[in-house]
A and B are shown apart, each in its own frame.
Chain A
């Protein structure tokens, strides 16, 4: 084992000479920076990594610090789940799309809800007008959830639900729907996104102020820990942070910092870290800079493992093991020449796989224009199947491990993330940092800087600022959401409100309000409301009566 610092040996001198020669060589007029704007060298050599650190910092796959992957044999043991995010129109239409995706080889479900549902509004609310079913499926009650999964046995599938503000309410609908199918909730598999901190930072689908929102998240973590061991109660997300315009390192750092905040909140509730940490999951973006992304995932695993073991005292290796879902970057897709998006998505998906993702969503080519058609969604799924079955990349665990560039960039990401953690620590932690607007400002700045780089052509987007086709007409079919979806939803809700036991609903909402005023875990109360067919809007209003609402400061 070498005892000298890698940069002081004889090999370093020729590496430096090499770098000098590269700098003097004829060079294109381009920035040679990552998508996030970090410069990278032309060539990486052994001088750029410390081989002595392998065991401590890289290690074997499935072993601390999990840089190379959370599992021993990764895709040799089990392929990544092909989990296409999906939902539009009514529950009936989305049910058909889910069956289609499963029939085409999808191996997990993922529900996209419409804006009213995401914002805790029923389909017949005044503010839902024009919005029903347009961004996802409209779910106002347990009845809609039952329709959504009609003919799909919930005990046999794993379902992810992208829902945050009203996550606990929607989860209760899912659990109640499973019960109605005769499934045992304790055996249900899936993930609830339920990462409220990133809502304040990026996606903006909050319903209450931060403190009661955190209480609800911890309630769900507690409920999963005690009653639903195969369900991930949170999917700590960087995807949206990145979509809002952050750099790769900001995505990495803000996501993990959110994760630390949830760990601390759950510990404060009295839960043992090894009881809940194994069920925490993550969700990252797969953006266009191929290697920057791969190194981001590797750094994420290493940082999380170290923190959980060394700072939070977790003893179970399952607590140290960061597992994540990946979605290819929506913000990288173009409305211009949309078929090029198939290519972008494929390359991004590949980076997720080379980075060791457990679950993957690939965007459809038409998503800059509308929600995906069957055809476009199928191509996106086939993209994953080609990667999994034709390319050979799933034969070897962390095949890029040991690359001088990959290890150097992984290290660099870790160091840069630690600097951001320092800053957050100075602000008192992630919740105070969010209340001070720190991550929001950083993201806004990064987004604006990137736009300026694009407009100055220092960053290129094919078809947008280079290789532009001026008289292009869109030739691909576009999914249209019909107005009748909204009308039908209103009629269905009116019928529901008429036919259900309204006294039972009133009792359920009243008990919910009382429990919200205290400190009881709200999940049992939400389950009662779900079973009584109380709507999302009714439950959110009951909770807002106690928690209040939230309006963010309007800054840009």
Chain B
């Protein structure tokens, strides 16, 4: 049946791949927590398999990935693929990092949500996640 529309949003914040630059991921994790969401921070050097396994285990509504290494076109699609394979295709995949506009568009076409590049406001991310998760929960119940 899924979570009720106003139940706390559960966000898994993860850094996939080899990139260890975690300033952004931690700042966003803090902002989401301050906004009242339940944040699960997986830490660094996660494989897509580890992330999806944690997301399913933690019953996450959202998986937020941070990738600054340029490896996003490998890592985001792999996470999407694995979520779908585990029947968790409705989990919102969002995130940010050093991802160019064209690549963001390509990733959105593959099924991610909106992505947040350098200079983004954490409040934009918070509001986006709230609205998007609410919408998906509504969809699941109807």
| CB-based contact B26/A448 at 8 Å | yes
Question: For residues 1 through 48 of chain B, which have their beta carbon under 8 Å from a beta carbon of chain A?
Answer: 13, 17-23, 25-27, 29-31, 39, 41-45, 47
Asked whether A131 and B44 contact (CB < 8 A) given A447-B23, A447-B27, the answer is: no
Q: Are B26 and A127 in contact (CB under 8 A)?
A: no
The answer to whether A245 and B20 touch (CB under 8 A), given A127-B47, A464-B119, is no
Instruction: Provide the residues of chain B in CB contact with A553, threshold 8 Å.
Output: 43
- Size of the A side of the interface (Cβ < 8 Å), in residues, is 43
A205 and B122 contact, Cβ closer than 8 Å, known pairs A130-B71, A451-B31: no
B88 surroundings in chain A (CB, below 8 A): none
| Contact with B98, one of A370, A444, A455 (Cβ below 8 angstroms) | A370
B70:A135 contact, CB within 8 angstroms? yes
**A-B pairs under 8 A by CB, number:** 99
**Contact between A116 and B27 (Cβ–Cβ < 8 Å)?**
no
Chain B residues near A (Cβ < 8 Å): 13, 17-23, 25-27, 29-31, 39, 41-45, 47, 69-71, 73-75, 98, 100-101, 117-119, 121-123
Q: Cβ of B70: which chain A residues have Cβ within 8 Å of it? A: 131, 134-135, 370, 481
Query: Which residues of A from 109 to 161 have beta carbons under 8 Å from B?
Result: 115-116, 118-119, 121, 127-131, 134-135
What would 17 more interface pairs be, CB under 8 Å, given A129-B74, A335-B119, A451-B31? Answer: A115-B71, A130-B71, A130-B73, A130-B75, A134-B70, A135-B69, A135-B70, A204-B22, A334-B118, A335-B118, A444-B26, A448-B31, A455-B123, A461-B119, A463-B119, A464-B119, A556-B41
**A interface, CB within 8 angstroms of B:** 115-116, 118-119, 121, 127-131, 134-135, 203-205, 243-245, 331, 334-336, 368-370, 444, 447-448, 451, 455, 461, 463-465, 474, 478, 481, 551-556
**Across-interface contacts of B101 in A (CB, < 8 A):** 474
Which chain A residues lie closer than 8 Å to B31 at the CB level? 448, 451
Q: How far is the CB of B115 from chain A (nearest CB, A)?
A: 13
CB-CB under 8 A from B121, the residues of chain A are 455, 465
Tell me if A121 and B18 are in contact (CB < 8 A): yes
Q: Is the CB of B18 within 8 A of A115?
A: yes
CA distance A551 to B43 in the complex (A): 9
Residues of A within 8 Å of B44, CB to CB, are: 204, 552, 554
Chain A nearest Cβ from B10, distance in angstroms: 15
